[in-house]
Homo-oligomer: A and B are copies of this chain.
Amino acid sequence: MKQKTKVAVLGATGFTGEKLVEILIDHPAVELTYLSSHSFDSVNYASIFPKLQKKIDIVCHKLNIDDAIAGSDFFFLALPHTVSMQVAPKLIAAGKKVIDLSADYRLHDTKVYEKFYHAQHLDPQNLPKAIYGLPELFGPKIKQADLVANPGCYASSIILALAPLAKQNIAGSHCIIDAKSSISGAGKKLSPNKHYMHVNNNLWAYKPFLHQHLPEIDQTLNSLTSQQLSFTFVPHVVGVESGIYSTIYLKINSKITQKQIAESYQQYAKENPFIRYLKPLPQLKDVVGTNFCDIGFSLETESNNLVVVSCIDNLIKGAAGMAVQNMNIMADLPQTEGLI
């Protein structure tokens, strides 16, 4: 029997860290060896999350990097932006495999990072090693990687929706992306706009044109085509508990038929275990609690206006599930291990 991978989750008590732990507990090829938290030190993890009682028995520590390194081979960094790039270099230097769920290693260009994250990049040396962790696009590179930059939640839903069309069918288009997300994407840190009384039954747009996931969408999709794609991206928060639903509008630039687009998505879904192509259009609830990305489209043939819709669970396919999918690939396991 194959030995289990020894896995550490740093930042294990945020929403993403919690979801990682939940998935990894049930993962047949993983042994959870180290959990760290900024807020809890030497506390039984299940006493912080009573829902995990009888499912996990492990203590959560303030991060001690030497202890973490000593006992684990594989690291998930569910840390805030700017913190990951202070921790990752030590792990890489120690020969560990790292999947960073922050934005620190997603953008090739440190200037773009600094513009969108308002912080200097502290680890430009390791940046070129980082592979953007979207298995549907970069599986072979991820397999070889020591450092994977797990995509942003909005970015995942959007890139996955457009990728199969990017090379040919939509080359050169302007894509208008209207995305709707659960507030869980904004994390646990308290703020008035996360109060139940504010979120419930509410809906609002924010950061129009300026959301920090825009540059990774741009970087990734434009790496697939020579004819520049451009983007308008407006995220919204809606009073639902989980998920991101992205509606993407574009004019296709040629005589591409409904049938051709359908075939692209069918082929895409066939090749990728977590992509589902749904007719006519998906609904959010079907992906909640799963690592699937559901995609559908509608074409107005007389006008060449195309609408592509995708949805994911923002904490799973948009974060923790995608990260475990990346780990599976890096650890030479089936992509779906522990995820379906």
Known: A200-B241, A285-B202. A234 touches B208 (CB 8 A): no
- When the two chains form their complex, are residues A298 and B208 in contact, meaning their CB atoms are under 8 A apart? yes
Which listed residue, B195, B243, B276, B311, touches A195 by the CB 8 Å rule?
B195
Question: Cβ of A243: which chain B residues have Cβ within 8 Å of it?
Answer: 201, 203
Question: Cβ of A289: which chain B residues have Cβ within 8 Å of it?
Answer: 289
Known: A203-B238, A203-B240, A305-B232. A178 touches B247 (CB 8 A): yes
- When the two chains form their complex, are residues A201 and B55 in contact, meaning their CB atoms are under 8 A apart? no
In the complex, A236 has a CB within 8 A of chain B: yes
Residue of B nearest to A340 (CB): B55
- When the two chains form their complex, are residues A276 and B202 in contact, meaning their CB atoms are under 8 A apart? no
Known: A54-B340, A249-B232. A197 touches B209 (CB 8 A): no
Q: How far is the CA of A273 from the CA of B201 in the complex (A)?
A: 25
Q: How far is the CA of A300 from the CA of B211 in the complex (A)?
A: 13
In the complex, A111 has a CB within 8 A of chain B: no
User: How many copies altogether?
Assistant: 4
Among A192, A209, A285, A288: residue with most chain B CB under 10 A: A285
Question: Cβ of A200: which chain B residues have Cβ within 8 Å of it?
Answer: 196, 199-200, 239, 241
In the complex, A286 has a CB within 8 A of chain B: yes
8 contacts between A and B (CB under 8 A): A190-B192, A190-B195, A195-B195, A195-B196, A202-B285, A203-B283, A234-B247, A238-B238
Q: How far is the CA of A268 from the CA of B155 in the complex (A)?
A: 37
Question: Cβ of A294: which chain B residues have Cβ within 8 Å of it?
Answer: 50
A237 to chain B, nearest CB (A): 9
Contact with B along A279-295 (1 / 0, CB 8 A): 01111111111101010
In the complex, A191 has a CB within 8 A of chain B: yes
